Chains A and B, each alone.
Chain A
Amino acid sequence: MLVIDGKKVPFVEGKTILEIARENNIHIPTLCAHERLPSFGACRLCMIKVHGVPGFMNACTTPAKDGMVITTNNLEIKKLRRAIFELILSEHPSSCMICAQAEHCDKFNSGIMKAGVITGCNTCPNKDMCEVRAIAEELNFKTIRFPIFYKELPIERNDPFFDRDYNLCIHCGRCVRVCQQVEGAHILVFTKRGHDTKIGTSFEKPHIETDCKFCGQCIDVCPTGALSARGQKWYQEPDDRVRTTCMLCNKGCRFEMDVKWGRIVAVRPDPDYKTLKTGICVKGRFCLPTFFNAVDRIRFPRFLQNFKLYPTNWDEIGSHVAELLEAYPPSKIALYLTNFLTDESDYVFRKFAEMMEITNIYTTVEDLTQIPKKGIKVLWTTEGLPGLKNFKTLEHLIFQEVFPSEGYELADVVLPAAAFTEQFGTYYTQRGPMPIQKVVKAPDLALEDWKIVCKIAQELDLSGLNYLDVDEIEQEMGRVNYKQKVRPVDEYYLKYRGTPIAEKVPDFKILLEYRKNRAKPW
């Protein structure tokens, strides 16, 4: 039994005073403590008084002992805590926190205010999540007695994906701990000593020169705006947060996406997903929003007429494709199914092929060698493919993709597909079948792959391919006992469907190019 602020709480062996206090809803302000990280005792805000012990102790680093009597918030502690926090504030650009106009200014300047260098909260991308601000509010800070000190450190922008402004850093050491103890990467360390102490890499090398994996976990745990993802800031409060599974490879990582203006604006690892010990990879963490928000997504169905691809609607393109497929015997038609189809889309495609008696179903580039052998005339591909122009027998190419990737120029029908963040479904991964959630709406007329098949099946008067939603497909898959396999897409696969990720994400291109001589780029 412990007594904290006069409240009797159960003693748990091996836990710190802070942990026990939090379990019992006793609030102690902290900046450096983080539930995923080992105790550190850097910020000293959690100072408490243990009766019978001289001086004050850190709640976050002091192991609880049975019978302890603890005070967390008397006048003396309050005074001490305020002074400690005031020292932190005097070295952090905090003018907006103590500004007399703050409330009115926030109301008037409710939009997003950007800045190259952050010198106050109202241009800080971290404002809405800032833990320093929360403490300032809690302690009701209005003035700083100490001299204000700005470190004048240069902003570090010489790495892909993130900006670092250590002028905002409060030396809580969370990034160092997450890098060392969670990710096991040991890239970030405290460099220099004393008043010059700073976070950085060994010898202050850019991260790209180190073994940094660009997992972005340092950004996720930073309580200030010192670390920020370059393409994932300045959106203030997101409209929505949706969790889904990554389909860029078969690992099955879960992540949480921030949505604003109907677009993905930020990605971070799913905070609740227990099997995810380390961070997500650079592709998921940093490339995804840029990739799917790229301006050249395929948005409308198109068909070739007078050497030009004309945009049209689904009704017209549906009958166009139906006519095209009916004009050829099934033995002259081939389907290419990409590894990036959801299980449901894959199933619907295969069922469609079975009903149409199409037996030429290709899933790898090697399978394409059968095109000349079998004299295939119509290829319906769900992925941009290399070298299609070498197959002289091909008369028609139906191109169902997210981007106009390889082979697009040969297409005479273009079908806009939704990306995996724009649909519901399941994806069979190394972790088993994982749910895919719709995060945002697909652009313009783009549709889920299975819906496209259903549209065309309708025009062909095929019954049994008229699903309302993925649940209906899933139920049918269960009834017919359809088994899905793990797709052969490994962690370092650099494409989504037929599009190299680096082609749409300039920073990723830099990373790959710079590290091209390494066995693994991250």
Chain B
Amino acid sequence: MYEIVEKREEVPNIHRLIIREPNVAKKAKPGQFVILMPDEKGERVPMSIVETKKDTFTIFMLELGITTGKIANMHPGEKLYAVAGPLGQPAEIEYYGNVLLGGGCYGIGAIYPLAKALKAKGNRIVTIIEARSKYLIYLEEKLRIVSDEFYIATSDGSRGTNGHVQTVLDRLIKNGHRFDHAKFIGCTYMMMNCSNITAPYRIPTRVALNTIMLDGSGMCGCCRVSVGGKTKFACVDGPEFDGHQVDWAELMKRKAAYQEAEMISYQTSPHICRALIENYFGESDE
């Protein structure tokens, strides 16, 4: 159980992991997530489930700090310490008509199951993905298949439109595209910007928030966010919320709560040297 079946760095910093866990694979619905722990002492990181097969599921992991670094350093065949899931509410999947999907960063992977499910409901899918540069785009072929229209934006203009999801979105709306529903997954900044674009046009907008999480069952309250003035838990009430009602500034502030501990943990974590330890001293004791 919790075995890493396959691991590949799809593009710099984004790893595709296939993990064996039949219970998650059996029950997961689009929009749900898992919480992973690489070892007993590791923190818990939530990841969107992208695909499920018989007894495995796929995630796209963005390598950020110590814990994701630990996972990125693991080899196929090794086992994670713990996998909890599927967690959170499934995404709203219905027939809307014209649906806009925006993804950036790990969200390019995370919107894929939504696109597939929405397409199956008969929606017309317009997908916009963004990346800093052309070498950071992944999953393009798969997304093209499930999308009726597909756009790419890069912030250095090396592919597609020079700009972001919001740049393309703004242009499409101004050119007369009508959208009945929109979903955005990516960094907090991108989801905020996109929600700001759809708000004046009253396009119902759903965003999947990526807060700090601990247990994922609504006990700890780590993941609390203000949505429409009410406190919600991203783990049990979300991760999908109305993008026009999220208190973005508060969310960003809460995400930065452990900056000091995160930085200091770099001073004391030996795991990044794992390659070195294994090369010269045999198997590491982790």
B-contacting 9-mer, from A101-109, A176-184, A272-280, A432-440: A101-109
- Most A CB within 10 A of own CB, among B156, B162, B189: B156
Is A231 part of the binding interface, using a Cβ–Cβ cutoff of 8 Å? yes
Q: Name the B residues within 8 Å of A147 (CB-CB).
A: 158
- Quick one: which of B41-82 are within 8 Å of A by CB? 62-65, 68-69, 72
In Å, the complex CA distance between A105 and B276 comes to: 36
**What is the CB-to-nearest-CB distance from B212 to chain A, in angstroms, rounded to a whole number?**
12
Q: Name the A residues within 8 Å of B270 (CB-CB).
A: 506-507, 510
Is B175 part of the binding interface, using a Cβ–Cβ cutoff of 8 Å? no
- The closest CB in chain A to the CB of B156 belongs to A95
Question: Do A157 and B272 contact each other (CB < 8 Å), given the known contacts A95-B132, A116-B72?
Answer: yes
> Are A115 and B63 neighbours in the complex by a CB distance under 8 Å?
yes
Interface string of A138-156 (1 = CB under 8 A from B): 0000011001101010000
**What is the CB-to-nearest-CB distance from A257 to chain B, in angstroms, rounded to a whole number?**
13
In Å, the complex CA distance between A511 and B264 comes to: 21
> Are B259 and A93 neighbours in the complex by a CB distance under 8 Å?
no
- Quick one: which of B216-268 are within 8 Å of A by CB? 252, 255-256, 259-260, 262-264, 266-268
> Are A208 and B276 neighbours in the complex by a CB distance under 8 Å?
yes
B266's partner among A208, A233, A260, A514 (CB-CB below 8 A) is: A233
**What is the CB-to-nearest-CB distance from B136 to chain A, in angstroms, rounded to a whole number?**
6
B276's partner among A159, A232, A265, A289 (CB-CB below 8 A) is: A159
> Are A234 and B262 neighbours in the complex by a CB distance under 8 Å?
yes
In Å, the complex CA distance between A295 and B12 comes to: 33
> Are A109 and B252 neighbours in the complex by a CB distance under 8 Å?
yes
> Are B275 and A157 neighbours in the complex by a CB distance under 8 Å?
yes
In Å, the complex CA distance between A206 and B275 comes to: 11
In Å, the complex CA distance between A160 and B279 comes to: 13
**What is the CB-to-nearest-CB distance from A148 to chain B, in angstroms, rounded to a whole number?**
4
- The closest CB in chain B to the CB of A89 belongs to B156
Q: Name the A residues within 8 Å of B133 (CB-CB).
A: 93, 95, 119-120, 148, 150
**What is the CB-to-nearest-CB distance from A509 to chain B, in angstroms, rounded to a whole number?**
8
Is B163 part of the binding interface, using a Cβ–Cβ cutoff of 8 Å? yes
> Are A148 and B156 neighbours in the complex by a CB distance under 8 Å?
yes
- The closest CB in chain B to the CB of A208 belongs to B276
In Å, the complex CA distance between A163 and B269 comes to: 14
> Are B158 and A148 neighbours in the complex by a CB distance under 8 Å?
yes
Is A9 part of the binding interface, using a Cβ–Cβ cutoff of 8 Å? no
Q: Name the A residues within 8 Å of B72 (CB-CB).
A: 116
Question: Do A95 and B155 contact each other (CB < 8 Å), given the known contacts A230-B266, A506-B268?
Answer: yes
Q: Name the B residues within 8 Å of A94 (CB-CB).
A: 156
Q: Name the B residues within 8 Å of A510 (CB-CB).
A: 270, 273, 276-277, 280-281
- The closest CB in chain A to the CB of B13 belongs to A117
Q: Name the B residues within 8 Å of A7 (CB-CB).
A: none
- The closest CB in chain A to the CB of B274 belongs to A157
Is A96 part of the binding interface, using a Cβ–Cβ cutoff of 8 Å? yes
Q: Name the B residues within 8 Å of A167 (CB-CB).
A: 12
Q: Name the A residues within 8 Å of B193 (CB-CB).
A: 101
Question: Do A513 and B281 contact each other (CB < 8 Å), given the known contacts A120-B132, A290-B268?
Answer: yes
- The closest CB in chain A to the CB of B260 belongs to A261
Q: Name the A residues within 8 Å of B65 (CB-CB).
A: 114
User: What is the total number of residues of chain B having a CB less than 8 Å from a CB of chain A?
Assistant: 47
- The closest CB in chain B to the CB of A294 belongs to B268
**What is the CB-to-nearest-CB distance from B269 to chain A, in angstroms, rounded to a whole number?**
8
Interface string of A75-106 (1 = CB under 8 A from B): 00000000000000000011110111100010
- The closest CB in chain A to the CB of B266 belongs to A231
Q: Name the A residues within 8 Å of B64 (CB-CB).
A: 114-116
- The closest CB in chain A to the CB of B132 belongs to A95
- The closest CB in chain A to the CB of B159 belongs to A148
- Most A CB within 10 A of own CB, among B192, B266, B270: B266
In Å, the complex CA distance between A295 and B68 comes to: 22
B259's partner among A95, A111, A144 (CB-CB below 8 A) is: A111
> Are B273 and A157 neighbours in the complex by a CB distance under 8 Å?
yes
- The closest CB in chain A to the CB of B276 belongs to A158
In Å, the complex CA distance between A265 and B263 comes to: 9
**What is the CB-to-nearest-CB distance from B159 to chain A, in angstroms, rounded to a whole number?**
9
- Quick one: which of B135-156 are within 8 Å of A by CB? 135-136, 154-156
Is A293 part of the binding interface, using a Cβ–Cβ cutoff of 8 Å? yes
Q: Name the B residues within 8 Å of A116 (CB-CB).
A: 13, 63-64, 68-69, 72
In Å, the complex CA distance between A114 and B258 comes to: 12
- The closest CB in chain B to the CB of A102 belongs to B155
In Å, the complex CA distance between A502 and B9 comes to: 33
**What is the CB-to-nearest-CB distance from B228 to chain A, in angstroms, rounded to a whole number?**
21
> Are B252 and A108 neighbours in the complex by a CB distance under 8 Å?
yes
In Å, the complex CA distance between A199 and B218 comes to: 50
**What is the CB-to-nearest-CB distance from B88 to chain A, in angstroms, rounded to a whole number?**
24
> Are B252 and A99 neighbours in the complex by a CB distance under 8 Å?
no
> Are B154 and A95 neighbours in the complex by a CB distance under 8 Å?
yes
B267's partner among A105, A152, A231 (CB-CB below 8 A) is: A231
Q: Name the A residues within 8 Å of B162 (CB-CB).
A: 100, 143
In Å, the complex CA distance between A93 and B11 comes to: 14
> Are B12 and A119 neighbours in the complex by a CB distance under 8 Å?
yes
> Are A144 and B156 neighbours in the complex by a CB distance under 8 Å?
yes
> Are B275 and A119 neighbours in the complex by a CB distance under 8 Å?
no
> Are B280 and A111 neighbours in the complex by a CB distance under 8 Å?
no
Q: Name the A residues within 8 Å of B277 (CB-CB).
A: 510
**What is the CB-to-nearest-CB distance from A123 to chain B, in angstroms, rounded to a whole number?**
8
- The closest CB in chain A to the CB of B249 belongs to A108
In Å, the complex CA distance between A111 and B249 comes to: 12
Q: Name the B residues within 8 Å of A289 (CB-CB).
A: 267
Q: Name the B residues within 8 Å of A112 (CB-CB).
A: 256, 259, 262-263
In Å, the complex CA distance between A147 and B134 comes to: 10
Q: Name the A residues within 8 Å of B266 (CB-CB).
A: 230-231, 233-234
**What is the CB-to-nearest-CB distance from A103 to chain B, in angstroms, rounded to a whole number?**
12
> Are B264 and A148 neighbours in the complex by a CB distance under 8 Å?
no
Q: Name the B residues within 8 Å of A294 (CB-CB).
A: 268
In Å, the complex CA distance between A96 and B63 comes to: 19
Question: Do A160 and B256 contact each other (CB < 8 Å), given the known contacts A148-B158, A507-B270?
Answer: no
In Å, the complex CA distance between A208 and B63 comes to: 26
> Are B275 and A158 neighbours in the complex by a CB distance under 8 Å?
yes
Is B164 part of the binding interface, using a Cβ–Cβ cutoff of 8 Å? yes
In Å, the complex CA distance between A99 and B68 comes to: 27
Is B22 part of the binding interface, using a Cβ–Cβ cutoff of 8 Å? no
In Å, the complex CA distance between A99 and B269 comes to: 34
Is B97 part of the binding interface, using a Cβ–Cβ cutoff of 8 Å? no
Question: Do A150 and B135 contact each other (CB < 8 Å), given the known contacts A95-B156, A101-B155, A111-B256?
Answer: yes
For the complex of A and B, the 9 pairs showing the least CB-CB separation, nearest first, are A116-B63, A506-B270, A111-B256, A231-B267, A95-B156, A95-B132, A148-B158, A117-B13, A99-B155
Given contacts A116-B63, A510-B270, 10 further A-B contacts (CB under 8 A): A105-B189, A111-B259, A112-B262, A147-B158, A158-B276, A158-B279, A160-B276, A230-B266, A234-B263, A265-B263
28 CB contacts below 8 A, A to B, read A95-B133, A95-B154, A95-B156, A98-B157, A100-B163, A112-B256, A112-B262, A112-B263, A114-B262, A116-B13, A116-B68, A116-B72, A119-B13, A120-B155, A148-B158, A150-B12, A150-B133, A150-B135, A152-B135, A157-B273, A159-B273, A208-B280, A230-B266, A231-B266, A265-B263, A293-B264, A293-B268, A506-B268
